[in-house]
A and B are shown apart, each in its own frame.
Chain A
Amino acid sequence: MAQVTLKNVAKVYDKKIRAVEDVNIQITDGEFLVFVGPSGCGKSTTLRMIAGLEEISEGTISIGDHVVNDVHPKDRDIAMVFQNYALYPHMTVYKNMAFGLMLRKLPREKIDKLVRDAAKLLDIAHLLDRKPKALSGGQRQRVALGRAIVREPAVFLFDEPLSNLDAKLRATTRTELKKLHARLKTTTIYVTHDQIEAMTLGDRIVVMSDGRVQQIDTPLNVYKRPANRFVGAFVGATPMNFLEGILESADGRFFFVAGETARIALPAEFSSALADHIGNTLSLGFRPSAMREASPADPQDERITLRTILVEPLGKNADVSCEFPDGTHVLARIDAREDFPVNADVQFTLEMKHVHIFEPGEFGANLVHPPADILAPAAV
């Protein structure tokens, strides 16, 4: 059991390529922290630096109270589960799990007990005499997990452990991982590119892009209060819609004007946050679920008119692909109904409490719903 602290950590390849930049994270004891981001964002590199498989170019990493920058992986008291499991193919499941303990010269009886307990916990006790070749993907995954568990390390490191499993198995294994963590309460650092995994597993999520941390927060906060435009676009089952436009002010109210296509009145709560940005180019972001069909009661200037292209019923909801007259694509998630008009102009209303306004650029900061507690201020 230990906390992990990353201070100003950076990874530089060949003296010029900066793969990871200025990462500051405090992981508390027993926490399940998930790194998420698109491929190449530096999340795996960060994990490998914690594991000791990559040299730390700048900054310090501490596990427990010790700075581990120059500590060999085996002495960091960590265990790692790899994406392709990295089981030793010539060893039986038993030996795979016992190997790390044998190298640490534990007594044979103790190893035996640890391995059998872990195998029982993971429901692989009947596979102990098999070799990895004779196992299914899910079983291999469990063995890899077992190899990590038997060591009873202070920190578990997972590098996309579920991405080699099929969708159904991935969902069940995800649940089991969460149960396992609830039971073992070991500090866990988990890397994934799948934002659903991140949302469901993590106590907190670290969203990374371009080698930088974009936001560190609880799953719900990351979803509801994305620190910047990138986080908003990346997190969530359906990507956020964005409109580019200019902030205008008239009669003491603010309007978001996206060229000829839309002129959306913004609520009064936004005023203080937007006061300094009048006349600036900004992006308006909203999730498909923040849209609904306009009812006659909705004020006219909070509506937008879109041409519907396609309807995809999902059961309770339906996804509607729409377009502004200028061709900007928008996805709306509405309550499903049979006679929804396709190829027609339909008016939608935005739920303003779920609308975000970002500064320009891919990493433009969220102006109206910034994260409540900014642990790592969004970069750029």
Chain B
Amino acid sequence: MIGSKKKRVAIAMMFLLPNLIGFLIFTAGPIFFSLYMSLTDWALTKHNEFSTEPIRFVGMQNYQRLLVGDESVFFWDYLGNTIFLMIGIPISIAGSLALALLINAKATPQAPRIRIRAGVIALVIGAIVTFFAWLATTPGPLPDPASPLLEMSAEVGLTDKSLFEVARLRSISFTLITAVFSLVIALGLIVGSVFFRTVYYLPSLLASVPMFLFWKTLYRPRGGLINAVLDPALDTIQTIITSTPRFLWYALGIALWTAAIIWAFRLMRSGINKLVHKDAGAAAFIGRTALVLTMLITAYGVGAVLVQAPQQSMLRSGFTSLDRSQTQTIADSLAAEFPTADTAELNLIARNTDGSSPDDAARFFATALPDDALPRTRTIARAQAKPLHDGLTSGDGLTSPEWLLSPSWAKTALVVMGIWTAIGGANMLLYLAGLANIPPELYEAADIDGASGWQRFVHVTWPQLAPTTFFIVVMSVIAGVQGGFEQAMVMTEGKADTITLSYYLYNIGFSDRFELGLACAIAWVMFAMIFVLTIFNFRVGNQLTND
């Protein structure tokens, strides 16, 4: 040790100084400045080099507008969207874990000769299957342009592509999928788990925007790969539904509900039992309750679809989202109908509801109108939008969803894509590392103790992975609250009810309104939410992992 303690601290500080200065100027400074900004009415439209109007300090007004005032309708709606997109988090974590377990299982035979032989066999089978897939799906020659078939297709709105084009696209897609799947399986058999690890990690290596564009193509309602596979599948299911007696579907739905309730009851009873006998802590009980609730909700949804399947109308019918001119038309007709309404406010709402579903737009417009105006507003808004030929919503039975075009499916589409991206990414690698660190003796002890495969997972793998899971959950929740911007920007441009809080912040601050003060307030509300959620995560997580 050289010098006094004071001197040593001073020397250390000197070394830290460059970083500290950088941190203060470029991180801490802007953070606290944004806190100040959120308390002002700073807006680029009002305060710029051409105006002399001073920036006013407005106190908590921005926060008040956001949480309970005129912006609250949007804020809470977009918060809802953000939370909807976060549904993907537990699913993708579970998927990552499942994938890591599969890859870790060392199912590939060790001898290279066997692997190559299996791979070659898989390649041959894949080639044959691909060939027959192409044979079976490829359409005949281009139909006569005057044939009644084409007229009919024009009638149902397929003006952009002839039926032939759609069929050809589907055939190509179908053949492509079969070929790619065969290739992946064959290569996986030859190279082993390393290959799968790489394949599943690929999404993480792709830049996000091209990947979003790629998924946008996949999600095209007609000719997109996803619906190319879904259409025939749903047609088959619909045929089965219509050709079987109705009561079967009612019975199925009711059976599912009953089973779910009984299972939930048993799970909760054993959970309470464990809690009473101190076999498990309160955190585990909360987790169990959440799982049971999720299962009940899922079972309710699936059961509802089953029960309603024979009626061919399973959800309320959907509408396309409104564009800017349509919302303006709504605003104009509302202004004519309700003379007392503030026209400027209606116009503002018209600008903000660009891309909303008619029902959402109606709710937003109603805030500027007399109390009982909502039903009439909804009628006017719906009149502007086109009804969708949407999965489960059209009254025509099962048809493929219009995905990114439909407010009732666009968020789901984004969630599915998010799961695909996240499942094989960093989370899987973290889980693989975690799995490699579990001492094999624990599994052997569990084997001798008589644990089944599931019990081995519950009592060895899962607790041993708890620190990994904890880290992943904390990081995913933080990313989830901030997320959704790029996806919505690239894939839906905020239409079809896909605006999240981060997109809202961007719209307010940089795109529509340039109200920097309000945007900063949104940022700080998001920060507060992340902060609270992370504290909660740490509390529960510590209880679960600190064993």
Using a CB–CB distance below 8 Å, which chain A residues touch chain B? 14, 51-53, 72-74, 78-80, 82-84, 86-91, 95, 99-100, 103-104, 108, 131, 133, 147
Contacts and interface: CB of A to CB of B under 8 A. Distances in A.
Please list the 7 inter-chain residue pairs (A to B) with the smallest Cβ-Cβ separation, ordered nearest first: A74-B450, A100-B449, A86-B441, A90-B547, A90-B463, A86-B445, A103-B450
Nearest to A151: B449
Interface residues of B, number: 21
Given A53-B444, A88-B442, A88-B460, A99 B279 contact: no
B474 interface: no
B448 A79 contact: yes
Interface in B279-318: 279
Contacts of A108: 277
A131 B547 contact: yes
A345 B279 CA distance: 73
B370 interface: no
Contacts of A104: 450
A294 B449 CA distance: 60
B463 A88 contact: yes
Contacts of A52: 447-448
A100 B448 CA distance: 8
Contact of A89 (B446, B449, B463): B463
14 contacts: A53-B447, A72-B447, A84-B441, A86-B441, A86-B444, A88-B459, A88-B460, A88-B463, A89-B547, A90-B464, A91-B459, A103-B451, A103-B455, A147-B445
A153 B194 CA distance: 42
A120 B110 CA distance: 48
Contacts, number: 65
A91 B110 CA distance: 36
B145 interface: no
B441 A82 contact: yes
Given A88-B463, A89-B547, A82 B450 contact: no
Contacts of A95: 279
User: Among B448, B451, B460, B547, which residue has the most Cβ atoms of chain A within 10 A?
Assistant: B448
Contact of A74 (B277, B439, B448): B448
Contact of A103 (B279, B449, B463): B449
Given A84-B441, A88-B442, A73 B459 contact: no
User: Among B279, B445, B459, which residue has the most Cβ atoms of chain A within 10 A?
Assistant: B445
Consensus secondary structure, chain B interface: helix
A135 to B, nearest CB: 13
Interface string B232-249: 000000000000000000
A72 B452 CA distance: 11
B450 A100 contact: yes
Nearest to B455: A103
B275 to A, nearest CB: 15
B519 to A, nearest CB: 45
B466 interface: yes
Contacts of A133: 547
A74 B441 contact: no
A259 to B, nearest CB: 51
Interface in B418-445: 439, 441-442, 444-445
B445 A82 contact: yes
B459 A99 contact: yes
Contacts of B466: 90
A156 to B, nearest CB: 11
Given A100-B448, A104-B450, 5 more contacts: A51-B448, A82-B441, A87-B445, A99-B449, A108-B277
A73 B448 contact: yes
A73 B439 contact: no
A104 B452 CA distance: 11
Contacts of A88: 442, 445-446, 459-460, 463
A162 to B, nearest CB: 16
Contacts of A91: 459, 547
A237 B455 CA distance: 45
Nearest to B452: A103
A103 B464 CA distance: 19
A73 B446 CA distance: 10
Interface string B108-121: 00100000000000
Contacts of A53: 444, 447-448
A357 B425 CA distance: 67
A86 B439 contact: yes
B112 to A, nearest CB: 12
